Every structure is written in C-alpha cells, then in structure tokens.
Amino acid sequence: MSSIGSELALFIQPLKNLLANLQGKADLGHVELIYSDQGVVVLLRHMKNLSDADVAAIKAFATDHQINFFSQGSTRQVVCLVGQEKLTYQLDEGQLSLSFAVTDFLQVNAKINQKMVTQALQWLQLEAQDVVLDLFCGLGNFTLPMAQKVARVVGVEGVQKMVDRARFNAQLNDIDNSEFYQADLSADNLKKQPWSPLDFNKILLDPARAGAQDCMAFIAAKKPTHIVYVSCDPLTLARDSQILLEKGYKLAKLGLIDMFPQTKHVESMALFLK
C-alpha cells in the first residue's frame, strides 16, 4: 500500500467509531476519504441535518486528528466543518497545482494518476507547434500538463462546474494557451461547437464508462496524427476503437493501468496512429 493509502487507511477505524456513536447514525449516507495537499479530507453525506451534539463531536474528532472535515446533507450543500475549504493536488512533481472541491470527480489513485498523465503525454509525442483537443477534460487533469508543452490546447467537458474549475486552474498556474468549453459530448452535435473548426493535430479523450461513441466520427474526421483514448471500461473502448480502425487508424499501443487495486476494474490507455 502506498504511503497515501496507508495514511487514509489509518482513519477508517477511528471514523467508524466516531460515526457509530453519533446520534443521527441511522441517517448517514456514506463517507469519502481524499488525500490533498492540505492533508486528509473527509466528506460525510447524511440524509437529515446533523444535531448540534453530532456536529460538536465531529469537530472535536477532526481537530484532534488534524483533518479537513466536510458534510453534505439532503440539500446537497457542502459545509466545511473543520479545516481548509480550498483544496488542491499536485501534478508534474509540484509544477502544477490543481484546485478541486470535495464533490468534484477525481482520479482515485494520485500516484497512478501522475504516471497515467505522464504516459499519455509521452504517447502523444507532443511538440511545441501542436494544437490539441482534450475531450471529457474535467478540471484539467490532462489539459494543463499538455498546455505546458504545446502551442494551444482546448478542453471540452459536459459539466459546467468542471469547466469553470478548469479555467480557474489555468489561471492558478499562469497558463494562457488553454481554452475550456462546455458541451454535451453524448450528442452528435460537435460540428456545431465554436471550437470544432480548429485544426487539431492530436486528440486525447478520457470518457466515463459509457464511452465516447458519439464523438468518434468527429475525431476521425479531424484526421489527427495521434489519438490517446483513456478508458475505465474495456467494452466501450473496444466498441469505440472499431470506429477508428474503420476510418484508417491503427492501434499502435495498448496498456492497462491498475488504478483500482483489489477490484475487478482497470483503466486502459490506447494509442491510435493515422
């Protein structure tokens, strides 16, 4: 187990004891543990408001263990009970600092995420004159490291909140050659998007389990020299890959990434060349 995993694991039993003794334990949903630059972060989801006594117990626990503790009730509003509300994580050995909220989508394994980003950038063989498209870009996990190596990069994401986060992260890291847009990437309307006319010569995509079937024809029509497809579902990766193969691309590299140890799930990365 990594040092980060070990540190998070240390809190499982103490957290279990804390939650078992709360007055509103029957109304608790689930707990998330995150490791950030600010230390251990806990998000407790609950279906009813916490009592004053439970809030006091949580604050005492978090203060004693020096952790950041957030709660989210039935209204979906997130409250920072103890610790720092502004959270970040590092990429490129600290060269990049990415801001995130506890409810944002993040890769679950920080060390593997860094290796995955590094490999994706290597496979794309990025050069200073490249114009790159990053589909399903989230908060800029791949986009911003790529921006440091190319002329221009465009990130596209379906969730406006994540687009806003990516733009903020670009400003946070003084990156001015990246642009971020919101678009429904599950709909066949990409040709109508304001960024679609650009001549992208390299493309990266990292969709959810549903894959990116509606994007593949658009991607192939752009005729990029390199396409890196990061996938958390081998079935949808295989389905979408077939479209690229039929459009004249070849599968040059394929790798598996153990992002989710001790589970049946794997992360895959595929490189397609024209």
> What pLDDT sits at residue 266?
81
**Residue showing tokens 């992260």:** 169
Q: Which of 268, 199, 193 is nearest to 234 (CA)?
A: 268
Beta bridge partners of 80: 70
**Domain CATH code at residue 72:** 2.40.50.1070
**Domain CATH code at residue 182:** 3.40.50.150
More confident residue, 3 or 164: 164
Q: Which pTM was predicted? A: 0.90
Q: Are strands 250-257 and 267-273 parallel, antiparallel or unpaired?
A: antiparallel
How many CA atoms lie within 13 Å of 274's alpha carbon, on the beta-carbon side?
13
43 and 121 fall within a common domain? no
Contacts of residue 181, defined as CB under 8 A and 6 or more positions apart, other chains included, come to: 154, 155, 156, 157, 163, 193, 194, 195
What angle do the packed helices 12-20 and 52-65 form, to 10 degrees?
160
Residue 165 lies in a domain: yes
Contacts of residue 164, defined as CB under 8 A and 6 or more positions apart, other chains included, come to: none
Report the range of poorest mean pLDDT among 120-124, 138-142, 179-183, 262-266. 262-266
pLDDT(76) > 90: no
Backbone angles phi, psi at 144, to 5 degrees: -70, -40
111 and 50 fall within a common domain? no
164 and 198 fall within a common domain? yes
53 and 189 fall within a common domain? no
Burial category of 164 from C-beta neighbours within 10 Å (exposed 0-12, middle 13-18, buried 19 and up): middle
pLDDT(2) > 60: no
Region 224-231: mean pLDDT is 98
Please report, rounded to a whole number, the percentage of residues in the chain having pLDDT higher than 90. Answer: 81
Q: What is the mean pLDDT of the chain?
A: 92
9 and 81 fall within a common domain? yes
76 and 109 fall within a common domain? no
Contacts of residue 50, defined as CB under 8 A and 6 or more positions apart, other chains included, come to: 22, 24, 58, 71, 73
Highest mean pLDDT among 71-75, 102-106, 129-133: 129-133
Please report, rounded to a whole number, the percentage of residues in the chain having pLDDT higher than 70. Answer: 97
Instruction: List residues with catalytic annotation.
Output: 232
pLDDT(3) > 60: no
Residue 147 lies in a domain: yes
pLDDT(164) > 80: yes
Is the CB of residue 105 less than 8 Å from the CB of residue 83?
no
Q: How many domains does the chain have?
A: 2
41 and 138 fall within a common domain? no
Residue 99 lies in a domain: no
Residue 92 lies in a domain: no
Count the Cβ atoms, other than its own, within 10 Å of residue 241: 21
46 and 130 fall within a common domain? no
Q: Are strands 39-46 and 68-72 parallel, antiparallel or unpaired?
A: parallel
Q: Which of 110, 101, 196, 113 is nearest to 139 (CA)?
A: 101
259 and 154 fall within a common domain? yes
116 and 231 fall within a common domain? yes
**Residue showing tokens 């806990």:** 42
Contacts of residue 193, defined as CB under 8 A and 6 or more positions apart, other chains included, come to: 156, 181, 183
> What pLDDT sits at residue 65?
93
Domain with 61, as residue range(s), is 3-85
Residue 43 lies in a domain: yes
> What pLDDT sits at residue 193?
95
Residue 96 lies in a domain: no
> What pLDDT sits at residue 5?
61
pLDDT(218) > 50: yes
pLDDT(1) > 80: no
Residue 98 lies in a domain: no
- Residue 146, SS3 per DSSP: helix
125 and 188 fall within a common domain? yes
Residue 177 lies in a domain: yes
54 and 140 fall within a common domain? no
Report the range of poorest mean pLDDT among 54-58, 101-105, 162-166. 101-105
Element housing 143 (H / E): helix 143-147
Residue positions counted in the chain = 274
